[in-house]
Structure 1
């Protein structure tokens, strides 16, 4: 592929963010013991740096469970996680491929059996996986419904990679400590932070940080749920003759979420005259200049990469101070 064609492909993919769409890589990890099923799993293409045939892996002394070892990929040493073992699958043909991913400014690889396809989906095809058995183990954020072209619907499990990484390779730096976030903040009486994230681990960490900052909050699991909550608050505020910004001090949103993504949530907030004064902070593991530019075009007031407690606290402090000055003017 020529560089111009490659750039065109990137541009087309990133432009999907303006229409609540995204592309998902479908892959298989093997069969579930006791069944003949080799289920489909998915991951946002934006998080895939590359897919390579499984290279020679160097074992790591004292490696955590499910870490196969490390590989040298063009001068970068990265850990390789046995993803089938993590989710309880057994590959039939072996660990043939390595999915190299970028999460929260870190690089790691996941072993997989096979890659099936890349599909273009609307986020409203993605449903929260609240009631699946896997969710209790913190493995799956959502379920994608895909038409197989023969009148049937395939279900794809979208893995909570953030949770898996924290389980397999716990990062103590992700713990929220009071000395990191600084002094507590104070909101006007009745005001809250409205947060949205589909990852159990992310929600837990956001809640810990907001509590450390002394900020009251409402936590939601998707952009759609956050939008519905915002509409309810707005209706109540109007009935009481209040501005919505007096009730919602800031919206803190992930980008990848079922039903409605963070790009769409941000655009809808900023397009509504009654809501646009509310600051929107994007908090996402989808890092990189391209995504940050799209966040800016959507109208967000700030962007913070997961999971940096001090950076998030600093941004919230700055955005809230700026908003208070605007409302007082």
Structure 2
């Protein structure tokens, strides 16, 4: 089952604060994934799997898909779910072929149900405490009386491949920012007022850490697009009342795309259109950056886009938009 046709038909208008989630199952528990991460769904064929020794319980090995060898992860084992009694009619398991963070991986699950169109306003936050203790879920949503947990597939891949989280480590400076930046450059970066909308507490703290090490310390953070939008609107109102240049309050906004309450595309559209702040650059920093998503980013007026976890590229864009006169 290819997702190409569905992707062309859904969410034709960008910035509607809606998303499509595919409901899938591990045992009797329902989980969800943003359809934009799905390339296709295929039946699981164990004979098409190459087992890798020493890969851990959840790292099954590799699976051949259309001539390409992909990493295959047993999602149930990785989430440490206990096995449930087998049904009288064993269900054939399936593989979700997913693309994000510029990588393609397969995830073995027990079955899929259907695609739901939902509003980000209906997605419940995972608290910062739970987000740090159990960062494998980005939120939950209730559909027809059933609670669906939205899985953070990016975090799961990073747990298996620690190289994915190295860009959030300040042990090495970000590209484009020297290990000992000259005082003038550091001071110029410190004077740039920025905002960041990112729902993941771990990623949010990582971005603050790395951008701070690069010199961008004047950074306010928000847990979703709605909270960020309210703050920008408040800044605009205060600047207008004081007769001040708005750029002194805010130079640029960095936003994730997937967020409860208000997604990044909607946030960007509302900044540019509803508030009329076309002069404020908005950079999308998301694992969902693909050719199709770039089109949607441009439709809402985004000025740039960087795929997670490419922090060096983000720093370069910040310098381009904030430091060049």
Query: Is TM more than 0.5 here?
Result: yes
Map Cα deviations across residues 265-296 of structure 1 (whole Å, 9 max, x no partner): 00110014553321100111112111101101
Are the counterparts in 2 of residues 181 and 212 from structure 1 also a CA contact under 8 Å? no
Which of 35, 44, 63 is matched with 1:45 structurally? 35
Structure 2 partner of 1:99: 96
Answering whether residue 24 of structure 2 is matched by residue 27 of structure 1, we say: yes
> Equivalent residue for 1:289?
291
Higher relative contact order (CA 8 A, sep 6+): 2
1:127–1:258 contact (8 Å) kept in structure 2: yes
Alignment partner, residue 212 of structure 1: 213
| Match for residue 180 of structure 1 among 153, 175, 178 | 175
On the 8 A contact 2:131/2:201 being kept in 1, the answer is no
Paired with 2:187 and 2:251, the residues of 1 have a C-alpha distance of 11
Query: Structure 1 residues 243, 189: closer, same or farther in 2, change over 3 A?
Result: farther
Q: CA deviation at 1:65?
A: 4.7
Q: Per-residue deviation at 1:54?
A: 1.2
**Is the contact between residue 225 and residue 259 of structure 2 (CA under 8 Å) also seen in structure 1?**
yes
Matched-pair contact (CA < 8 Å) for 2:239–2:245:
yes
| CA pair 12-46 structure 1, distance change in 2 beyond 3 A | same
Please name the residue that 1:128 is paired with. Answer: 125
Distance of 2:19 and 2:307 partners within structure 1: 19
Question: Normalising by the residue count of structure 2, what TM-score does the alignment of the two structures yield?
Answer: 0.86
* SS, match of residue 89 in structure 1: coil
**Partners in 2 of 1:243 and 1:145 — Cα distance?**
44
Q: Is the 8 A contact 1:80 1:111 kept in 2?
A: yes
- What is the alpha-carbon distance in structure 1 between the residues aligned to residue 106 and residue 205 of structure 2? 24
Q: Distance in 1 between matches of 2:135 and 2:268?
A: 27
- Residues 313-322 or 187-196, more deviating: 187-196
Deviation at 1:264, TM superposition (A): 0.6
Is the Cα–Cα contact under 8 Å of residues 14 and 299 in structure 2 kept in the other structure?
no
- 1:210 CA drift (Å): 1.1
The Cα of 1:72 is off from its aligned counterpart by 1.5
Distance 2:147 2:225 in 1: 21
Contact 2:4/2:39, CA 8 A, preserved across alignment = no
Q: Within 2, Cα distance between the matches of 1:230 and 1:298? A: 17
CA distance in 2, matches of 1:84, 1:221: 28
Of 205, 223, 226, which residue of structure 1 is paired with 2:225?
223
* C-alpha distance in structure 1 between counterparts of 2:41 and 2:275, whole Å: 44
**How large is the RMSD of aligned CA atoms in angstroms?**
2.6
1:118-177 deviation per Cα after TM superposition (whole angstroms, max 9, x unaligned): 11111111121217857622111111132x2xxxx3221111222221112211653443
What TM-score, normalized by structure 1, do the two folds share?
Answer: 0.85
Query: Which of 182-191 and 76-85 deviates more?
Result: 182-191
Count of residue correspondences: 308
Does 1:74 pair with 2:75?
A: no
In structure 2, relative to structure 1, the CA distance for the partners of 1:188 and 1:178 (3 Å cut) is closer
Determine which of 38, 45, 49 is the counterpart of 1:55. Answer: 45
Compute the displacement of 1:313 (Å): 1.3
Partner of 2:148: 156
Shift of 1:200: 3.3
Residue 136 and residue 16 in structure 1: after superposition, are their counterparts in 2 closer, same or farther (change >3 A)? Answer: farther
